[in-house]
């Protein structure tokens, strides 16, 4: 785990806010946690997507996940629920 990546406790809070499901086909080469940490790294540092460190997976895969979740409103909903605090997260 790199500095700034989600801890297990932080991931446990975020996990229920992310879409669940299994895609048919071969298993992914990179974990969702790895890709999410890559999105957070890029957002935190502001670096270009192509400059993303290899430990997060290919930049195109990380960017693709970021775009899908932005388009379907996942990031917005997760932010609202996290800002609301534990009382509304049921």
At 15-50, the pLDDT tens digits run 888 887 777 888 888 888 999 999 999 999 999 999
Retrieve residue 80's tokens: 């609202």
- Spatial contact of 9 and 2, defined as CB atoms under 8 Å apart: no
Q: What does the pLDDT read at residue 51?
A: 96
- Spatial contact of 38 and 46, defined as CB atoms under 8 Å apart: no
Q: What does the pLDDT read at residue 60?
A: 96
Q: What does the pLDDT read at residue 63?
A: 96
């Amino acid at each position: 785990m790199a500095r700034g990546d989600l801890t297990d406790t932080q991931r446990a809070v975020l996990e229920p806010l992310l879409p669940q499901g299994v895609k048919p086909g071969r298993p992914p080469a990179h974990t969702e946690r790895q890709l999410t940490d890559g999105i957070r790294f890029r957002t935190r540092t502001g670096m270009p997507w192509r400059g993303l460190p290899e430990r997060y997976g290919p930049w195109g895969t990380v960017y693709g996940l970021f775009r899908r979740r932005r388009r379907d409103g996942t990031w917005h909903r997760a932010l609202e629920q996290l800002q609301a605090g534990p009382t509304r997260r049921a």
